[in-house]
Amino acid sequence: MREVELAESIGLSRTPVREALARLESDGLITHDATRGIVVAELDYSMVTELYYMREVLEGTAARLTARHASEVEISILEDLCHQYAESLDDETKLAVSNSQFHDTLYRCSHNRYLVNMLTVLHDALSLLGTTTLSNPERAAETLKEHEAVVDAIRNRDADGAEQALRAHIRAAQKVRMKKLFATSDKR
């Protein structure tokens, strides 16, 4: 797609479209190809590894801060989201939404706006990977146990335990993602 075509298709002038594209490019979500124009970025093995590493660090920190700062009401909401997730195990679409709500709520309960902003940028980049790892039924069930372990540690105000449980959760998701990447590259 070209900048002019994009501006026309959404009914905006080129200036805001150019600014938005510059931000997407600086976030690594798009690239400019001399022949094809604007192209959605494709993440390679190294980029995926880097993203998951940062996800582990940042989300682990969010869990640690949540254990320290979340109110009883916020912890109750996280527990409710675990129940909602459990009720969604047979519906992949609801499962993905529930999972996203759990993580977004956890971030906000950390009470650190800068961390939330960094995680938002990170998740925008992760969206380039396409389908969630929760499409694997075994992974979906394991995720519930992992979320519950994180919330249990938060409820007990165990900052170390919350961080470690969340980091283990991200590493498990990364393992499934990497297996998918390897399977896809084997077919080429």
For 90-147, what is each residue's pLDDT tens digit? 998 999 999 999 999 999 999 999 999 999 988 887 777 777 788 888 899 999 999 9
Mean pLDDT of 2-19: 77
Integer Cα distance of 146 and 150 in angstroms: 6
**Res 70: pLDDT:** 98
Domain boundaries, the chain: 3-40, 45-186
**Res 84: pLDDT:** 96
HEC readout, 154-170: HHCCCHHHHHHHHHHHH
**Res 1: pLDDT:** 64
The residue among 121, 122, 100 whose CA lies nearest residue 54 is 122
Q: What is the pTM of this model?
A: 0.78
Name residue 176's beta-bridge partners.
none
Integer Cα distance of 164 and 135 in angstroms: 24
CATH topology of domain 45-186: Four Helix Bundle (Hemerythrin (Met), subunit A) (1.20.120)
For 50-66, what is each residue's pLDDT tens digit? 889 999 999 999 999 99
* pLDDT over 70 percentage in the chain: 91
